[in-house]
Structure 1
């Protein structure tokens, strides 16, 4: 018969003494995406019962397509929040990148692939600038990205002259992500497919690589991570640069989704991305969260928006519902962080 060590026996005894609520707290601590998953399933059931057409293949396809932009931006936002930072410039970087790549390629002015690479490169540089200001000048991420939000927004408006560029003036490569395919009435665009691939790649990087572990370590306790040999500043700089790269790819997805490049696109992208990340179970205090939770959070935001809209709920009440969700998500996170062994 196998012997049980005193430490193991004590731990098992402690687990048995937990109340049902404490067991839920421990479960959510280990799997922070479970609570948003429950919310998503319940929301889907409620809206389907209230409006059966909500669950039709066509309606679900539209919901997924509309989720793609916020979901893409939320990947970069998740990386930043995992390091206990926040990025308010996500939408501004995306729009600036979009307008640059569209303006350069307009009416054959530049090969589409080159314009795309320049736009994505510009977004990466913008993210790198945020990272340099945070790591080299030791400025708070909130202040840095609040400032660059205004800077990048102004540059995008000045560069574009406030004018939109329709898809008919753009090369096929910039419009291709708006095209797609149907499966039994459920339509997916190549932009949605690309966003899913981004989640798979970054999910693997965060969970299966040393760099991913460094990101969590920097967010959990940067000083301890530094003492343990983690190059905290370099990792933080890389996080902001990679986030910028992701925002640039999101700009490409947005052109395909919107059928145009406009400087006034997705004006609340920064708030939506933060909402998706927080609702998805990633801690605003850093060091805890999963990309799968972020994807669920982005779906929740869109499911609530479409569901309440189909039920005829006013826009003001939809905004209120989203705000309540955010507060509940942060409250749950605070409660989970108090978990005791």
Structure 2
């Protein structure tokens, strides 16, 4: 009997060959590109959505309608920045809308009913946002509660506190100092009316993007989201990073409250019903992974614009609000499915 002396290739060589073949397919190359550039897919979706809705309705691309979209995105986009920071750490915050509304009511009532200066009212709103963020951070870092459960609980707490504090009453812009509604002031750019709130939102995006890209804190945020245990072994103080993220989110939500007051020219305890869902949608559609450690705030901005474009476009098409919410839900499922597919890319 002759013995077969032909040796099989080492396992590592087989893996390399398989990896090469896998990467050589067009679909794998697309997946690799989407993995390297998380903002690429939302940019494509946004362009296609604008083209489709512009084709379906002539009014969609009118300057007045584009002005409306940008103003609507100002609030969702600001909240989505806070949501992005938390999701980058593999968490999620279901209370962002409630914190924003609570801060807005404190800002408005402290100036109208207590007669405090507008600047002091804004400072109190910032303190409320920071306190809410600190409370969420405490539940996550000290009590070790899952972020989903912790913020689901605080969502109800903050909603109840808002109603108790405000008595369910809405404060109109005419009753408030001009500084509080200043974020709603508009100016024209190429026929499109842009509010001060939109500029504030864009400045926040620039600031957070630079911080995440250029500072050690930003690198630590990504490291904690990618693998908490590895980050801890590398000397990163995980709980401190998480607490700082929740505090930062709280401060951003307080700024969002100021933008919301200017946007609606009022402070209402019933505002922001869909803001939690829309902020998460913007982040996920923007390419930030729900599993943490991957994504950019610029992708989130594109995601917020997609949410605004879809809601506006579907509204112009005459669809009921319920169907608009249905469409947003489909977007979330599609975005998470694509994210899981992208995460399978070989590194």
Q: TM-score range by the shorter chain?
A: over 0.9
Which range moved further: 237-246 or 17-26? 17-26
How far apart, in 1, do the equivalents of 2:104 and 2:332 lie? Answer: 29
Shift of the alpha carbon at 1:314?
2.3
The total of aligned residue pairs comes to 332
Name the residue aligned to 1:6: none
Indicate if the aligned counterparts of 1:219 and 1:285 stay in contact, CA closer than 8 A: yes
Alignment of 1:152-167 (within 5 A): 152-167=158-173
Name the residue aligned to 1:198: 204
Shift of the alpha carbon at 1:80?
0.4
Q: Residue 268 of structure 1 is aligned with which of 274, 294, 302?
A: 274
Name the residue aligned to 2:314: 308
Q: Residue 37 of structure 1 is aligned with which of 43, 46, 50?
A: 43
Q: Residue 23 of structure 1 is aligned with which of 29, 32, 55?
A: 29
Name the residue aligned to 1:5: none
Alignment of 1:144-223 (within 5 A): 144-223=150-229
Indicate if the aligned counterparts of 2:42 and 2:302 stay in contact, CA closer than 8 A: yes
Name the residue aligned to 2:94: 88
1:322 equivalent in alignment to 2:328: yes
Q: 1:61-93, CA deviations, whole angstroms, 9 ceiling, x for partnerless residues?
A: 110001110100000000000000000110110
CA shift in 2, pair 1:20/1:110, >3 Å: same
How far apart, in 2, do the equivalents of 1:207 and 1:56 lie? Answer: 36
Q: Residue 129 of structure 1 is aligned with which of 129, 135, 142?
A: 135
Indicate if the aligned counterparts of 2:23 and 2:29 stay in contact, CA closer than 8 A: no
Shift of the alpha carbon at 1:183?
2.1
Q: Residue 110 of structure 1 is aligned with which of 111, 116, 123?
A: 116
CA shift in 2, pair 1:15/1:239, >3 Å: farther
1:66 equivalent in alignment to 2:83: no
Indicate if the aligned counterparts of 2:22 and 2:28 stay in contact, CA closer than 8 A: no
Give the RMSD, CA atoms, in angstroms: 1.6
Q: Tell me the SS of whatever aligns to 2:24.
A: coil
Name the residue aligned to 1:231: 237
How far apart, in 2, do the equivalents of 1:21 and 1:164 lie? Answer: 53
Indicate if the aligned counterparts of 2:129 and 2:250 stay in contact, CA closer than 8 A: yes
How far apart, in 2, do the equivalents of 1:72 and 1:173 lie? Answer: 19
Task: Please report the TM-score for the alignment, with normalisation by the length of structure 1.
Answer: 0.94
Shift of the alpha carbon at 1:53?
1.7
Q: Tell me the SS of whatever aligns to 1:312.
A: coil
Q: Tell me the SS of whatever aligns to 1:223.
A: helix
How far apart, in 2, do the equivalents of 1:340 and 1:250 lie? Answer: 39
Q: 1:258-299, CA deviations, whole angstroms, 9 ceiling, x for partnerless residues?
A: 000000001121111111111111100000011011011111
How far apart, in 2, do the equivalents of 1:148 and 1:16 lie? Answer: 45
Indicate if the aligned counterparts of 1:108 and 1:171 stay in contact, CA closer than 8 A: no
Shift of the alpha carbon at 1:239?
0.2
How far apart, in 2, do the equivalents of 1:146 and 1:99 lie? Answer: 21
